[in-house]
Amino acid sequence: MKKIYAALGLFLLFSLQACGAQELWEEGEHYVVVSDQATEKPQITEFFSFWCPHCYNFEPLVAKMKQKIGSDVDFTKVHVNFMGFTSADIQDDATKAMLIGRSMGQEDSLNLAVFKHIHVQRGIVAGQSDLEKIFLATGIDPEEYKKKASSFTINSQLKKNNKTIDQFRKHISGVPNFIVNGKYQAKFTREMSADDFVELVVWLTKQK
């Protein structure tokens, strides 16, 4: 009998937690539906720009998200090329830098190097040569960078990155922006804390 009561108690606890989450995050206020169908596998797509100071400040929150999401959830950064800070071509060069870092298994650290160059050191990125110098400072050979930047693989990934931008462009007026499961767009409201936003995004990965 004690086991039955214990099991019933756990069931009620989980039910209350689920109801609490549903009451906490409301469609229209904390997230919007941008597609009729969710992706088969849970995923978070972060649209960002290296030139965006808010994106740089969001990096610790992104790290928290990655720690909290399940192992079955894919997290992908998509670097946008529609910001007014510089030309689309230069922004595409920066996207290539992100993709090169990803191909080397050093995406997080190399992204941080680019962010810091722009927002901490107040450096300028006016094209591929500036990005090569940033990578060189981290120990990446410029010739290897150039080879990868001109490779079929990186250029194909650039097209895929920009195709994802086109897919969601009408929903994204600024960055950072998070699309979850290809269906939900998370909204950061004034009353939310940074941790609240992390919890919202993690919760959305569990929605169909």
Q: Residue 17 falls within a domain, yes or no?
A: no
User: How confident is the model at residue 13, as a pLDDT?
Assistant: 41
pLDDT of residue 179: 98
Residue 70 belongs to a domain with what CATH number? 3.40.30.10
DSSP code per residue over 84-151: TTS-HHHHHHHHHHHHHHHHTT-HHHHHHHHHHHHHTS-----SHHHHHHHHHTTT--HHHHHHHHTS
Instruction: Classify residue 1: in a domain, yes or no.
Output: no
Domain-located, residue 105: yes
For tokens 């919202």, the residue is 200
Q: Between the CA of residue 1 and those of 4, 5, 14, 164, 170, what are the distances in Å?
A: 5, 6, 20, 55, 57
- Does a structural domain hold residue 128? yes
| Structural domain range at position 125 | 27-204
pLDDT of residue 50: 98
Is there a domain that residue 4 lies in? no
Residue 8 lies in a domain: no
Regions of the chain short of the pLDDT cut 50 = 2-20
CA dist., res. 165 & res. 173, Å (int): 11
Note whether residue 12 is domain-resident.
no
What is the number of domains present in the chain?
Answer: 1
Provide the pLDDT for residue 92: 98
Q: Return the sign of the alpha-carbon dihedral for residues 180, 67, 49, 56.
A: positive
The side-by-side arrangement of strands in the sheet containing 31-33 is 31-33, 184-186, 177-180, 43-48, 74-79
For 185-196, what is the HEC assignment? EECCCCCCCHHH
pLDDT at 16: 37
In a domain, 170, yes or no: yes
In this structure, which amino acid lies at residue 39? T
Dist. CA 187–CA 71, nearest whole Å: 24
